[in-house]
Amino acid sequence: MTWRATVLTLFPEMFPGPLGISLAGRALAAGLWGLEARDIRDSATDRHRSVDDTPAGGGPGMVLRADVLAAAIDAVDGADRPRLVMSPRGRPLTQARVAELAAGPGPLIVCGRFEGIDQRVIDARGLEEVSIGDYVLSGGEIAAMALIDACVRLLPGVMGRLESSTEESFSAGLLEYPQYTRPQIFEDRPIPEVLTSGDHAKVAAWRQAEAEALTRARRPDLWALRPAQITGPKSESRKTPKNKTDG
């Protein structure tokens, strides 16, 4: 079965949007994955087709109704599929979770709008809340696109062997080393000499060192989690200042 994302949204016209272009778009056109954007409003039952109401207990904004959203979820086939809801209070999305989702049948993704979603539908349908970062978007659609894009590029046949090297690097827990191309000198800045030396072992060592330095400086959280085999205990004691503890 082809990997497929089903998106429940109040704005189905936002899709495929950027997912219809470039790598994901070519793969979509080639049938390597499927995308289905469904309008939550189609599951409304009253004459006004209302999907939201005022929050119980008061407060600003509107809340997505449990009954309407549950009906929309229940109309989607595939009981074995992961059911996600994009939300800034979700567990942060990781490359590891992306890889799991890409390996499965493809998720059902609920996109929130308004002030939120009635908690009872999250509980009753076992929705996994997923965040793409500690900032607030105006709705879950762009977050869903980010998640889908990250999954699609891992699907068999979507990406060439070239691009997958970046993948391995991030999966190894390090940020990517810097890249250069022509011209040889740009505004008085030459390409680092080692990269034009033709010494492949030296190039590899330089890139590894750059990736490690970047990760330590920018992402101490990732650095602390890196697998032990990437840097031995030797390089750790050499590089870690005495006054700092390495979690």
Which residues would be at the binding site for ligand ADE (CB under 6 A)? 86-88, 112, 131-133, 135-137, 140, 143
CB of 142 to ligand ADE, least distance (A): 8
Closest to ligand ADE by CB, 87 vs 215, is 87
Query: Rounded to whole angstroms, how far apart are CA atoms 144 and 151?
Result: 11
Beta bridge mates, 4 = 34
Which of these, 34, 36, 40, lies nearest to 74 by C-alpha position?
Answer: 40
Beta strands per DSSP E along the chain? 4-9, 34-39, 52-53, 63-64, 83-92, 108-111, 116-117, 128-131, 185-186, 189-190
Closest to ligand ADE by CB, 55 vs 88, is 88
CB of 137 to ligand ADE, least distance (A): 4
Count of positions (residues) in the chain: 247
Closest to ligand ADE by CB, 144 vs 158, is 144
Closest to ligand ADE by CB, 107 vs 140, is 140
Q: How many CB atoms lie within 10 A of CB 30?
A: 10
Are β-strands 63-64 and 52-53 bridged in parallel, bridged antiparallel, or unpaired? antiparallel
Most distant CA atoms of the chain, gap in Å:
72
Instruction: Give the chain's radius of gyration (CA, Å).
Output: 23
CB of 173 to ligand ADE, least distance (A): 22
| Degrees to nearest 5, angle at CA 99 with 97 and 105 | 100
CB of 167 to ligand ADE, least distance (A): 22
Closest to ligand ADE by CB, 98 vs 143, is 143
CB of 121 to ligand ADE, least distance (A): 16
Closest to ligand ADE by CB, 37 vs 132, is 132
CB of 91 to ligand ADE, least distance (A): 10
